[in-house]
Amino acid sequence: MNRDETARRTNIVCAAERVLGSDPAQVWALMADPARVGEWAPLEVVGYMGTELPKSGQIVFLRTRRWRPRSRERRVEVEEWEAGSRYRCEISTEAGSAICFEVFVTPEVTGGAIATRIRLKQRMEVAAAPSALLRRLVSRQLERRLNRIELALRS
């Protein structure tokens, strides 16, 4: 990428957060299991490099179920892993940049009961021109993922 292309790019950061009346252990079990990612995101696990247990350095291959053939998966590397509370992944893109996706699961006491605060955060470098539009789109996607998490935990 030359200097002009770099100057026309910007980072966008979007986050969505919700408190659910669910057990933090159940929420973490859903959010941290690569085999269950399809329950809350439009993704499907294609394969692993290393063990199937998530940890820092773990590489998972995912594909967008609706739009990609099985042969065009994305490489996802777990950059940080704090079992039971948070993780951060870097997702490769065809454009050569990366998407950073973070999950935070925090127990919270509300009205004498234990609930769980879930926070999803996504950071990506994009062309400066459509960044406002992309920010709205990504924010909406994160909200949809929280809706799907809530539904998955109810069933």
Q: Give the pTM.
A: 0.83
Rounded CA-CA distance 59/44 in Å is 14
- Residue 78: strand, helix, or coil: strand
Nearest to 28 by CA among 90, 86, 115: 86
In which residue are the tokens 């790019």 written? Answer: 9
Q: What is the pLDDT along the chain (155 residues), one digit of tens a residue?
A: 445 555 577 888 999 999 999 999 999 999 988 888 889 988 877 777 766 667 787 787 777 766 666 667 788 888 999 999 999 999 887 766 789 999 999 999 877 889 999 999 999 887 766 778 888 999 999 999 999 999 999 98
